[in-house]
Structure 1
Amino acid sequence: MMMTLGMFVFTLKTVPYQELQYQQQWRHASNSRVGLRPTLQFLGPDTDTITLSGVLMPFITGGSISMLTLQLMAATGKGWPLIEGSGTIYGMYVIESISQTKSEFFSDGAPRKIEFTLTLKRIDESLASMLGDMSGQLTELKDSAINMAGGLLS
C-alpha cells in the first residue's frame, strides 16, 4: 500500500503515483504605512495542498475504473482521511481536481497510457482536532459495546 484516501487504496494495481508534491502555506495580512515598508501580521496556517501525479498503463497498472472511483469520491464533496503507507497521517482532504491525458490508443479507442494529476486540499483544522474527533468516536463505540454487553448479561 502506498497511501489511502478514505477507503481508496493507492497501490501498483490501482493508481500508482510516481510523484507526491506537498505544499504548506501560512497567511500574513499586510498593513500599509506612510514612508515605511508595510508590516505583516501572522494570521495562521493556510490550506495544505497535495498533488499526486503519475502514469497509468491500464494493462499493467490501474486504469479507467480506478480513476472513475476517484471521480465518484470527488463528486461527493466529502473529506477523506489521507494516510501514507509508512503511517504518516496527513489529515482530512477533499479531491479538488483530477486531470487525465490519455494517449497511445488501441484500435478500440482504449488508451494504453493515462497521465494523471490529482489535487487534494486539506479541510480539517489540525491533526489534533481530527484525532480528537476519532477519539470521541472510539469512546462512543466503546460505550455502545458496553451497553450491548450489559443487555446480553441481563
Structure 2
Amino acid sequence: MLLQVGPLQFSIAPMNAHEITREAATDYAKKEVVGRRKIYEHVGEGDDKRTIQGKLFPLKTGGAGALQLLHTMRETGSPQYCMRGDGYAMGWFVIMNVNETHRHLSPDGVGQEIDVTITLERADSPGAMGAFMSLFGLAP
C-alpha cells in the first residue's frame, strides 16, 4: 500500500498514486504601525493541502470501482483518515476536488488510461460515530 484515504487504498494496481505534494501555511494577523513595518502576530496553523496524482488503467487492471468510491467520499463531505504506506498517520482530510482525464477511449467510451488528481485539505477529526463510519465509506 502506498497511501490510504478513508477506505480507499492506493497501491500499484488498480489505483496508483505516483506523486503527492503538500502545501502547508501559517496564519498571521498583520498590524499597521506608524513609521515601521507591519507587525506580524502568529495566530496558528493555516491551510494544509495535499494533492495526489495517480493513474488508472481500467480495462487492464480495473479501478473503476475505486474511482467511484473516491467520488462518493467527496460527495459526502465527511473527513477521511489518511495514512501513508509506512504507517505515518497524516490525519483527517476532506476531499475538495477530484479531476479526471480520460485518454485513449475504447469503442464503448471508457478511457484506457485515466489520470486522476485529488485535492485534500486538512480538517478536524469527526466525532466518534463519524470516524467509525468513514472507515467503512459510509456517510455520517
- Aligned with 1:20: secondary structure? strand
Query: Does the aligned pair in 2 maintain the 1:28–1:44 contact within 8 Å?
Result: yes
Q: Which amino acid aligns with 1:52?
A: I
- Provide the residue aligned with 1:28 in structure 2: 28
> 1:81-96 alignment to 2 at 5 Å?
81-96=81-96
Say if 2:117 is the partner of 1:123.
no
When you count strand as a share of all residues, which structure comes out higher? 2
- Provide the residue aligned with 1:3 in structure 2: 3
Say if 2:107 is the partner of 1:111.
no
Query: Does the aligned pair in 1 maintain the 2:57–2:63 contact within 8 Å?
Result: yes
Query: What is the TM-score normalised by the length of structure 2?
Result: 0.83
Unpaired segments of 5 or more residues in structure 1? 138-154
After superposing the two structures, state which structure 1 stretch, 71-80 or 116-125, moved more: 116-125
| Per-residue Cα deviation, 1:111-140 (whole angstroms, up to 9, x for no partner) | 111111001111127xxxx9xx88xx9xxx
Percent identity of the aligned residues?
27
Unpaired segments of 5 or more residues in structure 2? 132-140
- Provide the residue aligned with 1:78 in structure 2: 78
When you count helix as a share of all residues, which structure comes out higher? 1
Superposed CA RMSD in Å reads 2.1
After superposing on structure 2, the runs of 4+ consecutive aligned residues of structure 1 that deviate more than 3 Å are 60-63
Query: What is the TM-score normalised by the length of structure 1?
Result: 0.76
